[in-house]
């Protein structure tokens, strides 16, 4: 595939087949990520490759946040949503957490977020080229202080900016974009 074909065919993937990602494939995606542009060479990204033990701990945080958002704690509905969310999270073949080192000034923080976003997109595109799908999530687990405790990180030094859920796609959805003419002004 050409780079444009990879960019255009890549979709956010929500359902995965139960097959693990080989470490060399994972490292290839990380390698693509760290070659993202970054102003003043801050290289502000940090990655955590989550193993099964840690995934079980994160699953509890994920399920609790999901159930609390939709139902009252202690209700049957809560327990139902909790259990489904727990199973859903545990079924993700590979979870990666992405953090941004926090600079001291606002401008650098903004530029570093842009650089981390480029890194995540590089990661997703490299994955797609080898038929691995990713969901880039900014859901509540990256805001929860227990996630920082699990990673043994302080939120004053680093901000978690994304959770990447990855695996071989079970189902690829469709998406559209507005044509370039709608979002571009060509000036004389
Ligand atoms: C900064 C950012 C945060 C996102 N957060 C979420 C999220 O929390 N949950 C989710 O399902 N998708 C999330 N996405 C993925 C978008 O929903 C997805 O890219 C969009 O629907 C377009 O679909 P496509 O990726 O298949 O083109 C996020 C994407 C970006 C760039």
Nearest to 95 by CA among 43, 32, 145, 147: 147
Residue 150 confidence (pLDDT): 96
User: Which token pair is 180?
Assistant: 């370039």
CB neighbour list of residue 18: distance below 8 Å, 6 or more residues apart: 91, 93
pLDDT range class, residue 183, cuts 50, 70, 90:
very high
- Beta carbons of 62 and 85 less than 8 angstroms apart: yes
Q: Is the CB of 175 under 6 A from ligand 1?
A: yes
DSSP SS3 for 65: helix
Q: Specify if 172 maps to a domain.
A: yes
Instruction: Note the pLDDT tens digit of each residue in 66-78.
Output: 999 999 999 999 9
Sole residue written with tokens 């996630």:
147
Please check the confidence at residue 156 and state whether its pLDDT lies above 90. Answer: no
Residue 97 confidence (pLDDT): 98
- Residue 112 to residue 45: CA distance in whole angstroms: 8
What are the backbone angles phi and psi of residue 59, rounded to the nearest 5°? Answer: -60, -35
Ligand 1 centroid to Cα of residue 173, in Å, is: 13
Question: What is the atom index within ligand 1 of the atom nearest the CA of 139?
Answer: 8
Which residue is closest in CA terms to ligand 1's atom 12? 137
Question: What is the atom index within ligand 1 of the atom nearest the CA of 162?
Answer: 3
Q: Specify if 17 maps to a domain.
A: yes
Instruction: Note the pLDDT tens digit of each residue in 15-49.
Output: 999 999 999 999 999 999 999 999 999 999 999 99
Ligand 1 centroid to Cα of residue 76, in Å, is: 30
Q: Specify if 43 maps to a domain.
A: yes
Q: Which helix (H) or strand (E) holds 159?
A: strand 158-167
**Domain count across the chain:** 1
Q: Which helix (H) or strand (E) holds 151?
A: helix 145-151
Q: Specify if 166 maps to a domain.
A: yes
- Beta carbons of 141 and 163 less than 8 angstroms apart: yes
Which CATH number is 114's domain given? 3.40.109.10
Q: Specify if 188 maps to a domain.
A: no
Q: Is the CB of 11 under 6 A from ligand 1?
A: yes
Residue 174 domain boundaries: 3-183
């Amino acid at each position: 595939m050409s780079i444009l074909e990879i960019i255009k065919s890549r979709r956010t993937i929500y359902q995965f087949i139960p097959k693990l990602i080989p470490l060399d494939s994972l490292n290839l995606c990380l390698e693509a990520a760290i070659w993202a542009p970054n102003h003043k060479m801050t290289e502000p990204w940090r990655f955590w490759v989550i193993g099964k033990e840690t995934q079980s701990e994160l699953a509890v945080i994920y399920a609790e946040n999901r159930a609390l958002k939709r139902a009252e704690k202690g209700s049957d509905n809560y327990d139902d949503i909790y259990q489904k969310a727990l199973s859903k999270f545990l079924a993700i073949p590979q979870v990666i957490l992405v953090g941004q080192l926090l600079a001291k000034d606002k401008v650098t923080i903004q530029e570093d977020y842009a650089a981390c976003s480029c890194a995540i997109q590089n990661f997703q595109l490299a994955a797609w080229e080898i038929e691995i799908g990713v969901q880039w999530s900014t859901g509540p687990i990256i805001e929860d202080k227990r996630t920082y405790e699990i990673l043994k990180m302080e939120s004053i030094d680093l901000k978690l900016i994304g959770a990447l859920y990855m695996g071989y796609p079970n189902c690829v959805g469709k998406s559209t974009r507005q044509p370039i003419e709608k979002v571009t002004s060509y000036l004389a």
